[in-house]
Structure 1
Amino acid sequence: MNLNQITILSFDTRTSVRFYKKLGLKLIVDALPRYARLECPDGESTFSIHHTEDLIINKGVTLYFEVENLSKTVLELQEKGITFNSEIKEQSWLWQEVHLKDPDGNPIIIYHAGKYRKNPPWRVN
Structure 2
Amino acid sequence: MNLNQVTVPALDVAKSVAFYQQLGLRLLVDACPRYARLECPDGEATFSIHAVPELPEGPGITVYFEEEQLDEWVAELQARGIVFDELPVDQSWLWREARLRDPAGNQLVLFYGGDNRKNPPWRV
Secondary structure of the structure 2 residue equivalent to 1:41: coil
- What is the rounded CA distance, in whole Å, between the counterparts of 1:32 and 1:116 in structure 2? 38
Q: CA deviation at 1:87?
A: 2.0
- What is the rounded CA distance, in whole Å, between the counterparts of 2:57 and 2:27 in structure 1? 23
Q: Specify every segment of 5 or more residues in structure 2 that has no aligned partner in the other structure, as ranges.
A: none
TM, length-normalised to structure 1? 0.96
Amino acid at match of 1:81: G
C-alpha contact 1:67 1:110 (8 A) present in aligned 2: yes
C-alpha contact 1:5 1:47 (8 A) present in aligned 2: yes
Q: 1:31 to 1:56 in 2, by over 3 A?
A: same
After superposition, the C-alpha distances for 1:6-51 in whole angstroms (9 at most, x for unaligned) are: 0111000000000000001000001111110000011100000011
Q: How many residues align?
A: 124
| 1:72 is the counterpart of 2:75 | no
Secondary structure of the structure 2 residue equivalent to 1:87: strand
Secondary structure of the structure 1 residue equivalent to 2:77: helix
- Deviating beyond 3 angstroms after TM superposition, the runs of 4 or more aligned structure 1 residues are none
Amino acid at match of 2:17: V
1:82 maps to 82
Amino acid at match of 1:111: F
- What is the rounded CA distance, in whole Å, between the counterparts of 1:70 and 1:57 in structure 2? 30
Q: Specify every segment of 5 or more residues in structure 1 that has no aligned partner in the other structure, as ranges.
A: none
Q: RMSD value over aligned CA atoms?
A: 0.9
After superposition, the C-alpha distances for 1:73-108 in whole angstroms (9 at most, x for unaligned) are: 001101111000012110001000000000011111
Percent identity (aligned): 56
Q: CA deviation at 1:111?
A: 0.2
Q: CA deviation at 1:60?
A: 4.6
Q: 1:5 to 1:114 in 2, by over 3 A?
A: same
C-alpha contact 1:57 1:105 (8 A) present in aligned 2: no
C-alpha contact 2:95 2:111 (8 A) present in aligned 1: yes
- What is the rounded CA distance, in whole Å, between the counterparts of 2:22 and 2:58 in structure 1? 23
Secondary structure of the structure 2 residue equivalent to 1:49: strand
Secondary structure of the structure 1 residue equivalent to 2:3: coil
Amino acid at match of 2:8: I
